[in-house]
């Protein structure tokens, strides 16, 4: 079954009260693995898995939960990771590998990208089952850079993206529509147009004045 | 809620001067009732019940409304302040074996017990109340065609609201096994289906399906007649409104379970920006926007949360709800929620400063100024306090481990949600400080700013990225689905980095002179008027004095 077929089947499975049917778990867990293998993502289905774990604690599977959390990171800057966290019982959040994943999420959320790449290197085994995990995270990093910078130091950018080779860096710059400048900076975006000082001045409408004008007559 | 005229036209055949004025006699009624013993129903109660029953069977919604919202509470106050209403067996001799009326009566009977008993209802009462709700919903859902029953919207909303409340309360009760007898625990163990989360979800989903409410709302949103898609059941007001209220019930239930995505998702056909369009029940409105705003806040969609909170606070203010319905049983609910919403709004505005309605802003600063200051200074405890006070009462959907109270699958669900929220706050904690520095400049080299903040340049750049990331969130723009939106930076202070220089854009609000002047002009004119009348009076006095 290819991914699209599966996606449709799952969507049907999720309608109404059937979302809470524990018999769906097997299929849904398979679907999580499929998302990891094929670099696809379905937040709603994954939340349904966590929901079923919440309602049926004896069915809880830590490896699946870990995969769901890692997949949620690939959808940053959306707050999917937080949504997942709210459904995972606190006691599991104190167990490995969930604790490590929580730590990694915090680094990403706080934009400590350099530390993040060090951690990823050390815990490489965690990400083995996820296709293109690093590139998904790079997409998020590029997003944050693109809303923050007008021009960024090339060395810094390369560091943030996890020490890419010159070739890879060029590919990302091209994909993002950025421009290399002669002075060692990368031109990201013209921010002057997006980030402007707003002036809110008072507008006195006719209605405001009319009440005062009435007084003039008396 | 039109009570006007009610007092002139006496619809009942019983004496409506409630208190006899004789405390002994009034007190006597309360003493009469002893559980288990046969009980003689007072004449006035009998007449009330008969009138109530007739209104229900005739489908006279206005009269039912009066009985439900007004008279039941008045009579409770007078006869059953510290004791339950007579149980259903005792009223059969009055109303006969009218199953539908007895179910409705029991709904009020148990609700009254739950509201008035300090120590909470007994396990048996909880179970009985559950069965009564089952009977009610089965009666409505299992019928071949729409049942003939008609009830006021307020009562229908209260039924859904109370059903979830009692479930919530039961979960809390069940999780405390330390103070239960062996008998009680044995009974809980053998009856896992009672107040089971699946049953509760099932009821709400069934009502949604039966009423076709989503299809109806979709039609309504397009400006078409919802009746076209309602079907046989959905066209019937009872089903339609129960369907609508069940959606709000699901919003609440999902929120209580920490499932914020699903909470917003169930409302995907309700247009949240058009407020009172579908229902006029104020408690339902307030509940809706409280939970919607809360879910948005947990999703870090602060702008959406702030919009939801502000609009409902203005609604409460505009309808003057807290003043006009004083004395009603709903007022405490709205008062408490109003206060909780103010707290949540304060949290959101500290995390994501932006302009809101000026009146609200003034009310916030006046009442919560100190809390806000503590949060702005980055005191985690201040966030924790405000959140803990204002959050819903989260619940654990599964029974505890009856064999070993010390080993539970579930920790207190409340602590989990606080933890998640506090982790978010912790990630953002330095943003307000950085913002306060940025506000002072329009351009500034990174090296200087980082020195002011006592950070290394690298560290400061990381904080700036984090600032941008956290202040850039999904914001709803159009369509009915509240989950949709586009990324926006809507906060007050914004900036970008060009090479090694920070360029800052602030929101500057010019002082509002106009309003001030207009106010002063009015005051002056009032003063002027007052002086003129004084002078006139003085003149009259003077001339009067001359006459005699």
Residue B17 has a pLDDT of: 37
Please tell me the distance from the alpha carbon of residue B296 to that of residue B227, in angstroms, as a whole number: 32
CB B340 within 8 Å of CB B290:
yes
Q: State whether A86 and B260 contact (CB < 8 Å).
A: yes
Reference B207, options B237, B235, B236, B245; nearest CA is B245
Instruction: Give the closest of A16, A20, A215 to B198, CB-based.
Output: A20
pLDDT mean over A105-113: 93
Q: How close B259 comes to chain A (CA, Å)?
A: 7
Q: State whether B515 and A195 contact (CB < 8 Å).
A: no
Q: How close A126 comes to chain B (CA, Å)?
A: 23
Residue B427 has a pLDDT of: 92
Residue B540 has a pLDDT of: 72
Residue B29 has a pLDDT of: 41
Please tell me the distance from the alpha carbon of residue B111 to that of residue B105, in angstroms, as a whole number: 10
pLDDT string in tens for chain B (548-residue length): 333 333 333 333 333 333 344 444 444 444 444 454 556 778 888 888 888 888 888 888 888 888 888 888 888 878 877 888 888 888 878 878 888 888 888 888 888 888 887 777 888 888 889 999 998 998 988 888 888 888 888 889 999 999 999 999 888 888 877 777 888 888 888 888 888 888 899 999 988 888 888 778 777 777 777 677 777 787 788 888 898 999 999 999 999 999 999 999 998 888 776 655 566 788 888 899 999 999 999 999 999 999 999 988 988 887 766 555 544 667 778 888 999 999 999 999 999 988 888 888 888 998 998 999 999 888 899 999 999 999 999 988 887 777 766 555 455 788 899 999 999 999 998 898 898 888 888 888 988 888 888 899 889 999 999 998 988 888 887 777 778 888 777 778 888 888 888 888 877 777 777 777 777 887 888 888 888 888 887 777 665 544 44
Q: What are the residues facing B505 on neighbouring strands?
A: B494
pTM value is 0.84
Residue B409 has a pLDDT of: 47
Residue B472: which H helix or E strand, with range?
A: strand B472-475
Q: In this predicted structure, which of A51-60, A208-217, B284-293, B518-527 has the lowest mean pLDDT? A: A208-217
Closest alpha carbon within chain A to B394: A86
Q: State whether B514 and A208 contact (CB < 8 Å).
A: yes
Give the N- to C-terminal CA distance of chain B in Å, as an integer. Answer: 57
Closest alpha carbon within chain B to A200: B509
Q: What are the residues facing B509 on neighbouring strands?
A: A200
Q: What part of A 5-44 touches B (C-beta under 8 Å)?
A: 16-17, 20, 43-44
Closest alpha carbon within chain A to B417: A86
Q: State whether A111 and B469 contact (CB < 8 Å).
A: yes
Instruction: Give the closest of B258, B462, B525 to A111, CB-based.
Output: B462
Q: Report the residue of B498, B500, B514, B531 to disrupt the A interface, i.e. the one with the largest count of A CBs within 10 Å.
A: B498
Is residue A156 within 8 angstroms of chain B, CB to CB? yes
Closest alpha carbon within chain B to A58: B409
CB B297 within 8 Å of CB B456:
no
Instruction: Give the closest of B468, B487, B518 to A208, CB-based.
Output: B518
Q: Report the residue of A19, A56, A83 to disrupt the B interface, i.e. the one with the largest count of B CBs within 10 Å.
A: A83
Write out the DSSP string of B386-443: HHHHHS------S---SS-TT--S---HHHHHHHHHHHHHHHHTTHHHHHHHHTT-SE
DSSP B508: E
Is residue A121 within 8 angstroms of chain B, CB to CB? no
Cβ-based contacts of A147 with chain B (< 8 Å): 468-469, 472, 489
Instruction: Give the closest of A43, A111, A204 to B466, CB-based.
Output: A111
Residue B20 has a pLDDT of: 41
Instruction: Give the closest of A86, A196, A209 to B417, CB-based.
Output: A86
Q: State whether A47 and B461 contact (CB < 8 Å).
A: no
Residue B92: which H helix or E strand, with range?
A: helix B88-95
Residues 6+ away with beta carbon under 8 Å from B534? none
Q: State whether B257 and A197 contact (CB < 8 Å).
A: no
Cβ-based contacts of A109 with chain B (< 8 Å): 427, 466, 469-470
Q: How close A153 comes to chain B (CA, Å)?
A: 7
Q: What is the pLDDT of residues A153-193, one digit of tens each?
A: 888 888 898 878 888 888 889 888 888 888 888 888 888 87
Q: State whether B508 and A200 contact (CB < 8 Å).
A: yes
Residue B543 has a pLDDT of: 58
Instruction: Give the closest of B259, B469, B509 to A47, CB-based.
Output: B259
Please tell me the distance from the alpha carbon of residue A212 to that of residue A51, in angstroms, as a whole number: 60
């Amino acid at each position: 079954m290819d991914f699209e077929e599966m996606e449709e089947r799952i969507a049907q499975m999720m309608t109404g009260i059937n979302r809470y049917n524990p018999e769906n778990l097997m299929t849904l867990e398979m679907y999580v693995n499929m998302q990891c293998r094929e670099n696809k993502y379905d937040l709603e289905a994954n939340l349904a898995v966590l929901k079923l774990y919440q309602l049926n604690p004896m069915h809880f599977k830590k490896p699946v939960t870990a995969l769901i959390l890692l997949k949620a990171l690939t959808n940053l800057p959306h707050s999917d990771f937080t949504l997942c966290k709210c459904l995972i019982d606190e006691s599991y959040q104190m167990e490995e590998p969930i604790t490590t994943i929580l730590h990694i999420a915090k680094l990403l959320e706080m934009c400590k990208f350099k530390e993040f790449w060090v951690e990823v290197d050390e815990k490489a085994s965690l990400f083995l089952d996820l296709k293109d995990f690093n590139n998904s995270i790079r997409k998020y990093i590029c997003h944050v850079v693109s809303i923050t910078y007008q021009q960024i130091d090339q060395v810094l950018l390369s560091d943030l993206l996890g020490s890419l080779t010159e070739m890879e860096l060029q590919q990302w710059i091209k994909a993002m529509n950025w421009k290399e400048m002669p002075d060692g900076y990368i031109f990201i975006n013209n921010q002057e147009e997006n980030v402007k000082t707003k002036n809110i001045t008072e507008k006195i409408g006719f209605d405001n004045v009319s009440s005062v004008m009435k007084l003039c007559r008396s | 809620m039109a009570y006007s005229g009610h007092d002139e036209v006496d619809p009942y055949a019983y004496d409506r001067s409630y208190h006899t004025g004789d405390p002994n006699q009034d007190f006597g009624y309360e003493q009469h009732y002893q559980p288990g013993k046969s009980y003689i129903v007072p004449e006035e109660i009998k007449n009330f019940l008969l009138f109530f029953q007739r209104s229900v069977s005739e489908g006279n919604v206005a009269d039912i409304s009066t009985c439900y919202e007004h008279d039941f509470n008045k009579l409770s106050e007078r006869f059953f302040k510290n004791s339950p209403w007579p149980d259903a067996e005792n009223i059969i001799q009055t109303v006969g074996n009218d199953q539908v009326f007895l179910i409705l009566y029991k709904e009020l009977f148990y609700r009254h017990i739950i509201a008035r008993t300090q120590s909470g209802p007994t396990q048996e009462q909880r179970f009985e109340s559950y069965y009564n709700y089952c009977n009610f919903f089965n009666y409505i859902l299992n019928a071949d065609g729409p049942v003939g029953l008609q009830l006021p919207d307020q009562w229908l909303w209260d039924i859904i609201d109370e059903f979830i409340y009692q479930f919530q309360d039961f979960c809390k009760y069940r999780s405390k096994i330390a103070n239960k007898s062996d008998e009680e625990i044995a009974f809980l163990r053998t009856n896992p289906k009672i107040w089971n989360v699946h049953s509760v979800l099932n009821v709400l989903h069934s009502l949604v399906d039966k009423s076709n409410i989503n299809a109806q709302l979709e039609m309504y949103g397009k400006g078409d007649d919802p009746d076209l898609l309602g079907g046989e059941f959905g066209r019937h007001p009872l089903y339609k409104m129960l369907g609508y209220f069940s959606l709000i019930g699901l919003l609440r239930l999902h929120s209580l379970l920490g499932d914020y995505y699903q909470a917003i998702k169930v409302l995907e056909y309700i247009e949240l920006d058009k407020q009172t369009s579908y229902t006029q029940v104020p408690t339902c409105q307030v509940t809706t926007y409280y939970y919607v705003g809360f879910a948005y806040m947990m999703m870090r969609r602060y702008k959406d949360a702030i919009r939801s909170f502000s609009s409902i606070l203005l609604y409460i203010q505009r309808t003057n709800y807290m003043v006009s319905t004083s004395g009603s049983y709903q007022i405490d609910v709205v008062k408490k929620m109003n206060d909780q919403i103010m707290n949540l709004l304060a949290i959101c505005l500290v995390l994501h400063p932006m302009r809101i309605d000026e009146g609200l802003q003034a009310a916030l600063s006046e009442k919560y100024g100190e809390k806000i200051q503590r949060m702005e200074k980055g005191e985690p405890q201040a966030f924790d306090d405000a959140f803990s006070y204002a959050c819903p009462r989260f619940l654990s959907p599964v029974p505890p481990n009856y064999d070993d109270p010390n080993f539970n699958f579930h920790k207190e669900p409340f602590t989990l949600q606080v933890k998640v929220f506090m982790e978010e706050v912790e990630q953002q904690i330095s943003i307000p400080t950085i913002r306060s520095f940025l506000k002072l400049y329009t351009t500034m080299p990174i090296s200087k700013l980082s020195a002011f903040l006592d950070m290394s340049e690298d560290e400061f750049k990381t904080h700036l990225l984090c600032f941008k990331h956290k202040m850039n969130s999904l914001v709803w723009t159009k369509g009915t689905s509240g989950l949709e939106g586009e990324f926006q930076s809507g906060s007050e202070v914004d900036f970008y980095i060009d090479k090694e220089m920070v360029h800052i854009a602030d929101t500057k609000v010019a002082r509002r002179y106009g309003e001030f002047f207009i106010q002063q002009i009015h005051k002056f004119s009032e003063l002027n008027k007052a002086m003129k009348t004084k002078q006139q009076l003085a003149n009259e006095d003077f001339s009067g004095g001359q006459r005699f």
